[in-house]
Structure formats: structure tokens, C-alpha cells
Homo-oligomer: A and B are copies of this chain.
């Protein structure tokens, strides 16, 4: 696993079969796929505009609570429908008042009795599951072939959950590769998360199209944020840290902490989980929804500290990834710059292959 593996990155014109689909600057996202489009709380009776996968989409909630996603572009004069408002479950265009049913069909033209049959917008399949609403922008006939993944700790009791959202000016795969190679902890996050022992390539496996890595750490003193939240303090604690690229749209990660010599009446283990849902806005921008959870109750100060540290750390990732993306765009050498792989890139390399598999299925 740790032998070096070098190759040269293909130029901008490289075929889709190359090692990096879309080259981080093209539309390298499968459409026959479920993507997080919003948190549940964001979708209300006020129409919400959101771009995703290069599409302008308007989101709203029906009276009975069901969510709706339509093309955010009136087929009459192309006004964004999100500038309109709801009448019951129908969306009224704010320009000339055409009304659209949740299924996308125009049901009223205020100035005439006849409604042109072609006056309709696409209604995107949505699934609301836990804190997220997932969208399908591909062939609607294939939407039933899969469903958004279940995430146990979001659906079980007993977890202390935090979350947040950022938009970042980079291709979504840059964030995927970031979380698939945690050897960046000692560099990017050395002053925030302060995990300094992620110094070797992890074991990697690919199973059912999911790429998983795992690394065990022998008992040692925890980084301050983890010591504080778990209450393990300065005791030597064993850790297992794993990450799993579930699909192009979702990455899950975990750290499992074990006290090899637990004191009587104190906890012997703790679990930390993180979810990274990345949704392309365009080839060079992304939505980034994240959640983090502990199987412990958190006090208000612990919660605050956890949130502050996480936000600071994710901002460090964003700064780095946006700098990489900006450089790729500005440097006339573009993608024709060497890209050297090392052992710790195996998870990312495998995830690229899985992404290519998804893109190939899209093209069928």
C-alpha cells in the first residue's frame, strides 16, 4: 500500500477514461445520483433559489410538508420562479403570474383560458431523509434505482450532533480527496485539531463501490479538543480513525476512542462521527454540508469548543482548496502540470476510479 505510485496528470483535453474524471475543472459529476440540495430547515413556504450541478433550482414546501424542486426558470419569459410566491401548493411566477403545479405543469396563465401544453418546467425528484433533502437531476425513470444512504447516528437517539454549511470555490472532488487523505492533519490543522500523529498511509479497501480507509493509533495522549470533549483528559487513549467515501456525494468518517485502563465508573470508550456532503454548484464551486456527532452528552462549553474548533479547521481546508483551484485556473499550464502520487493517495485514487464508474453508468 505504501509503495509510491507516480503518474502524469492528463492535459485538459484528456479522455474521460483518465485518472481524474473531468480534471477538477470540468463537470465531473454523475447526474443519475442523489445529492444533498439543502437542509430540511432551509425548505419552507418561501421559494428558495439554489444552483446545483449547473442548474438553477427553486425549492419549496407544500402545505402537507412535502418538498418540491423545479427548474428556476419560467418557460414563458425565463424569469427565475424563485422571485415569485406560493398560492397553496402552486408557484406563481413573479413576472406575469403564470402558475405551476408541484409536478411542473403550468396550470394557469392569468391573461387567457388556454394553458399551452408545453408550458412546464422540470420537477426534480427529491427525498427528505433526516436533516437533509436529496435531489436527483438525472433521468427521472432511474431515480427509483437507488436511494440516499442511511446514516445510523443521524437516525438514532443518544448522539450530540453539530452541523454547518459552507460554499467553497473549488471542484467538489478537491474536498473529497482532502477527507480521503488525513495525513494533512499535521500540516493544515496543526494549530486547530492538533492531531499530529497521522504520519503514515492507512489500509484501504474498496467494497460495494465504497472506498474505505482505516488507521489504528496506539494509546497516547489525545489532542486537546478530543481530550476535552471525551473527558479522557491526559490519559493514554487508543484510537481507530476511518473514513469511507460512500459515493460521489457523501463521505463518512469516524474516530473510535478506547481507554485501555478505564477507571471504575468512568467511560471506557467514545465515538465521534463526521459527515461530509459535497454537491457541485458548477465545475469550480461546491456546496459543503457537514455534520459531526458524539455518542456522549456535551455540555454547552464542550459544544461551543467543538464547534469553534471544527469551523476553524474546515476554514483551513477551504482556504487550501480554494488556493489550489484558483491556481489551476490561473496558471496557463492548467492541468498540464505533473501530479505525483504517493502511498497515502491510495484512497483518493480509488475514489477517482469509483467516480469514473459512476460517470460511465451515467453515459449508458
A55: chain B residues at CB < 8 Å are: 331
Closest chain B residue, CB of each to CB of A97? B187
Once A77-B324, A80-B324 are accepted as A-B contacts, the answer to whether A112 and B2 lie under 8 Å apart by CB is yes
> Which A277-325 residues have C-beta < 8 A from chain B?
320, 323-324
Q: Dominant SS at the A interface? A: loop
A38 within 8 A of B: no
- Minimal beta-carbon separation of A246 from chain B (angstroms): 22
A205 within 8 A of B: no
A320: chain B residues at CB < 8 Å are: 79, 83, 94-95
Give bound CA distance, A283 to B332, whole Å.
12
Q: Of residues A111, A114, A119, A200, which shows the largest number of chain B Cβ atoms within 10 Å of its Cβ?
A: A111
A342: chain B residues at CB < 8 Å are: 76, 109, 111-112, 116, 119
Once A4-B114, A111-B343, A118-B6 are accepted as A-B contacts, the answer to whether A323 and B80 lie under 8 Å apart by CB is yes
Give bound CA distance, A268 to B341, whole Å.
69
A107: chain B residues at CB < 8 Å are: none
Give bound CA distance, A94 to B178, whole Å.
13
A128 within 8 A of B: no
B187 in contact with A93 (CB, 8 Å): yes
B94 in contact with A337 (CB, 8 Å): no
A186 within 8 A of B: yes
Count class of interface residues, chain A? 35 or more
Once A187-B94, A332-B54, A344-B96 are accepted as A-B contacts, the answer to whether A327 and B73 lie under 8 Å apart by CB is yes
Once A327-B73, A327-B80 are accepted as A-B contacts, the answer to whether A340 and B95 lie under 8 Å apart by CB is no
A200: chain B residues at CB < 8 Å are: 111-112
**Which of B116, B177, B187 contacts A340 (CB under 8 A)?**
B116
A62-96, CB under 8 A of B: which get 1 and which 0? 00000000001101111110011000000011111
- Minimal beta-carbon separation of A120 from chain B (angstroms): 8
B331 in contact with A186 (CB, 8 Å): no
Closest chain B residue, CB of each to CB of A181? B96
A3 within 8 A of B: yes
A183 in contact with B80 (CB, 8 Å): no
A56: chain B residues at CB < 8 Å are: 327, 330-331
A6: chain B residues at CB < 8 Å are: 116-119
A188: chain B residues at CB < 8 Å are: 94-95
A218 within 8 A of B: no
A31 within 8 A of B: no
A360 within 8 A of B: no
A110: chain B residues at CB < 8 Å are: 183, 186, 199
- Minimal beta-carbon separation of A62 from chain B (angstroms): 22
B77 in contact with A177 (CB, 8 Å): yes
A201 within 8 A of B: yes
A158 within 8 A of B: no
A338 within 8 A of B: yes
11 additional A-B pairs beyond A93-B187, A116-B341, beta carbons within 8 Å, are A2-B111, A2-B112, A3-B114, A6-B116, A6-B118, A8-B118, A56-B330, A76-B340, A94-B320, A95-B187, A111-B183
**5 cross-chain CB contacts under 8 A:** A3-B114, A77-B324, A94-B320, A116-B341, A116-B342
Show the binding face of A for B, using Cβ within 8 Å.
2-4, 6, 8, 51, 54-56, 72-73, 75-80, 83-84, 92-97, 106, 109-112, 114-119, 177, 181, 183-184, 186-188, 199-201, 320, 323-324, 327-328, 330-332, 337-345
